[in-house]
Structure 1
Amino acid sequence: MEWMEKLLSLSFQVRDFMWGNWMVALLVITGIVLTVVTRMIQIRRLGNALKLVFLGARGKDYSKEDEGDISPFAALMTALAATVGNGNIAGVATAIATGGPGAPVWMWISGFFGMATKYAEGFLGVKFRKVAEDGTMAGGPMYYIRYGLKEGRFSKFLAALFAVCGAFAALFGTGNMAQSNSMALAFKSQFGVPPLLSGAILTIMVGLVVIGGIKRIGAVAERLVPTMIAFYFLGAITVILVNVAHILEAFEIIFASAFTGKALGGALIGTSVQKAISLGVSRGVLSNESGLGSAAIAQSASKSSDPAKNGLIAMTGTFIDTIVVNTMTTLTIVLSGMWMLTPAVGVDLNGANVNLQNLSPQVVDFASQVGYNLQNGGLSSTALTSAAFNTVLPFGIGGTIIAIASFLFGYTTLIGWAYYGEQCLEYIAGVKIKKPYRLIYISLLFIGANLQGQYLDIVWNVGDTANALMAFPNLIGLLFLAGVVAKITSDSFSGGKRIY
């Protein structure tokens, strides 16, 4: 249909504009500003922040007298539930496949500054939250934009824009329909499960949690999220340990590609440094959500009276997502040698790239087994990560681990984003919207699992665009409120104070 093709083309154009260089620059600049005004909080207080997380895992991170719905640890796990998703598996692999093995370096750099951004989001989420009509906490960027900035049309417009786009992304975009579709496709390709069946099962599983609201979401997240991260970590660390003798060579490849566009031994990577930067930063932000404002919504529900404490806890989310999980994915792909079978390389395996072959000889065997041909485009996305796991884990176990991890990551993303969308709509329409929203969310999840072709592409593009439209008002709000964050942060840590 001609109109569908035009709509698809338009969706690509709008998405590409919204996630263009200007948005990447705004995200990085905001992170740099917040890093400066907090005097590198992500370095100075990372130890404190991680200690708070470990205390939270033992239920010792809050007082029963503190106002809120869930513990700070449960709030962090809810945010991580939505953050640690298939972007950590497919997104990182895609960045390497199209931007070269150096793209993750720019993920790490954006993640470093993103930790300061996430600190500010968690801080402001608690600072400006409100108590809703039903007694639950209501907070997030829409509240700190409206009530943190001077009252007026501008702040109300930005707050409403965030809320509308947040609800849209949760219902129709990457938080729901696109996520359920990816999971259904993974189970169809790996286990032969029809999307109708996997979609129905997924709908029931998500529905049982979402209907219970934030307390049930938090309870599930604080148990499931650490388990799923540990499961993926064990699979990845197995690949890394088998190839540990080449760890220094792997980092040489990664950093050489990031800053020169060349790999170890001078082999030219078929992509530019500029492309590596663009893909690394944009994929990093989509993975860790620093700047989107979503984590502020989760932190607003936590039992806490100290914004700085919640800011510290919030910033560990970016650390875990980008510095830990994304690094595991990167190292498995580079150490296994599978990155050489991607479109970004564009070199003959039997050519001059001798040093790279020595890094991982099994990659040559794998290439011959699958009949690899550079003309066919090479490996990318989840297939690239699965191939990396399969170089070490026999009988296709690696692919099974990735399929299960994708399901768990996707499932937790669905329950986390369900709460985000609910809070955004509550800001617009009040608490009465909660129950109808939950039913609509669950219904759209099932529809998303069964989407195909151009309809699916449009959903992904619209979701990406909605995420960008969330980020824009949030980043403006963060820049205007940077002074508030700086002052209270300074007071909280003056005289060597520690918040634990």
Structure 2
Amino acid sequence: MQNVTLFLEKADSFIWGPPLLMLLVGTGIYLTFKLGLIQVFKLPLALKLVFSKDTDSNAQGDVSSFGALCTALAATIGTGNIVGVATAIKAGGPGALFWMWVAAFFGMATKYGECLLSVKYRVVDENGQMSGGPMYYIERGLGNKVLAKMFAAFGVGVAFFGIGTFPQINAITDAVKITFNIPVLATSIVITAIVALVTLGGIKSIAKISEIIVPFMAVFYVLGALFIMISNIQLIPQTFLLVIKSAFTPTAATGGFLGASVMYAMRNGVARGVFSNESGLGSAPIATAAAKTNSCVKQGLISMTGTFFDTIIICTMTGLMLIMTGVWNGSLQGASMTNEAFNQGLPVIGPYIVTVGLIFFSFTTILGWNYYGERCTEYLFGVKAIKLYRLIFIVLVGAGSFLKLDVIWILADIVNGLMAIPNLIALIGLRGVIESETRLYFEGLKSESKISWKSKTVNEEN
């Protein structure tokens, strides 16, 4: 087992080396400036669209725009926000949080671009459902079937062995055992059974569950974290200073922390940031393709907010709590670190917030990734292969509880990186499409605004 772990560590270091980090962040930087800092100047509009009802009754799609966003958020808001942040800071020090912010900021532009393309190039499958995502815009936009199939194959790999199964079920069973002392096997059986029941309902069932659970649990978790931060408000300035300083200077070994170089902090921050918000990974576009909308740009803006909610808000709160409570340089790791931070800030009820949050966040992530893998399977083998895919997925969910934490996260990082590569190549290749669609949409808004203003002026004069 030790040899396997060493091999996986080497593969992880190779895949998440400077080339992929440059490609990942570089794509986000390029789109950020080419689209005129869209994640800054158009964020208010994007947030407005999230909470506005789509009035277009002729819009094509399977679920509402909000439902598609919640499905994508269901797959992103999970262990990455609670366990992933803890493992990043434990390995790379406080500076890892800064690099998570960097990845998220530029990742918002990446998420916008990939979700725009997903709606533009989506198709209707044999079951009458919308299918889209990188495999479709790679094939139909770039005209490269080989790269499209590579993405779909890696997508199934992530669903089976990465974000979709092992880290989520492992985090749930560990947290339940720590807080409620319920045996791992019992929790694993219950969660696996519920996953099996919900996933059989497809995207509409998953979206319906996600629309209820995701907003409620996000607010519940954020309020708990906010209370702890306000209680320790005097520590916030020095915590931010430590994060920024540690991002550019090696972090010395203290307490249970072994020390980390700048490169190691950067690698862990970016990798865990991608694990959490999935910008550039190509996963969210698969859910986005199901949205009822006639505008690829509008859905791209809505989808962009997912990275904002996930990393800029939730991951930041988790990271700041871990640092200001000092648990990051102790002997704990994973969910136990976040549990202890909440316990210090909110004795008695704190651990319950983490455990309940982790259960629901991780559960919805499993549901979201079941759908992503299903769409990738359908692309590769047709709709007939979906039943077999679901069966394998459910079996792997049940098995995830019994794997070691370090192996789980290394394996997840590897398949995440492999999935990101073909998607990022497609984003670069289709950058002209993203730019032209964006320009046309906002020029249209300006024209509508001028017509509306002229009509108003004429009416006032009359």
Q: Same fold (TM over 0.5)?
A: yes
2:154 aligned to which of 153, 156, 165: 165
Who is 2:343 aligned against?
Answer: 390
The separation in 1 between residues aligned to 2:152 and 2:448, in whole angstroms, is 31
Who is 1:416 aligned against?
Answer: 368
Q: 1:460 Cα deviation (Å)? A: 4.5
The separation in 2 between residues aligned to 1:49 and 1:68, in whole angstroms, is 20
Equivalent positions of 1:88-487 (< 5 A) are: 88-149=81-142, 151=143, 155-261=144-250, 270-339=259-328, 341-342=329-330, 378-395=331-348, 397-449=349-401, 451-453=402-404, 458=407, 460-487=409-436
Could you give the per-residue CA deviations for residues 135-182 of structure 1, whole angstroms, max 9, x where no partner exists?
100100000001101x3xxx1111001101111221233311332122
The separation in 1 between residues aligned to 2:36 and 2:171, in whole angstroms, is 40
Q: Secondary structure at the match of 2:345?
A: coil
CA RMSD of aligned residues (A): 2.1
The separation in 1 between residues aligned to 2:241 and 2:251, in whole angstroms, is 10
1:493 and 2:431 correspond? no
The separation in 2 between residues aligned to 1:498 and 1:256, in whole angstroms, is 47
The separation in 2 between residues aligned to 1:465 and 1:94, in whole angstroms, is 16
The separation in 1 between residues aligned to 2:193 and 2:216, in whole angstroms, is 21
Who is 1:27 aligned against?
Answer: 24
Runs of 4+ in 1 over 4 A off after TM superposition: 456-460
Counterpart of 1:199 in structure 2: which amino acid? Answer: S
Contact 1:62/1:304, CA 8 A, preserved across alignment: no
Contact 2:133/2:283, CA 8 A, preserved across alignment: yes
Could you give the per-residue CA deviations for residues 60-80 of structure 1, whole angstroms, max 9, x where no partner exists?
135231110000100000000
Q: 1:497 to 1:206 in 2, by over 3 A?
A: farther
Q: 1:276 Cα deviation (Å)? A: 2.2
- Taking only the aligned residue pairs, the percentage that are identical comes to 48
Counterpart of 2:391 in structure 1: which amino acid? Answer: L
The separation in 1 between residues aligned to 2:258 and 2:194, in whole angstroms, is 44
Contact 1:172/1:463, CA 8 A, preserved across alignment: yes
Counterpart of 1:434 in structure 2: which amino acid? Answer: I
Structure 1 unaligned blocks of 5 or more: 343-377
Q: Secondary structure at the match of 1:39?
A: coil
* TM-score, structure 2 normalization: 0.91
Could you give the per-residue CA deviations for residues 95-151 of structure 1, whole angstroms, max 9, x where no partner exists?
2222222221111111110000000011000000001111100100000001101x3
* TM-score, structure 1 normalization: 0.85
Counterpart of 1:237 in structure 2: which amino acid? Answer: L
The separation in 1 between residues aligned to 2:147 and 2:96, in whole angstroms, is 32
Contact 1:100/1:269, CA 8 A, preserved across alignment: no
- Compare 421-430 and 252-261 and name the one that shifted more: 252-261
Contact 2:93/2:251, CA 8 A, preserved across alignment: no
Q: Secondary structure at the match of 1:493?
A: helix
The separation in 1 between residues aligned to 2:282 and 2:447, in whole angstroms, is 26
Q: 1:191 Cα deviation (Å)? A: 1.9
Structure 2 unaligned blocks of 5 or more: 450-462
Q: 1:498 to 1:180 in 2, by over 3 A?
A: farther
The separation in 2 between residues aligned to 1:270 and 1:173, in whole angstroms, is 27
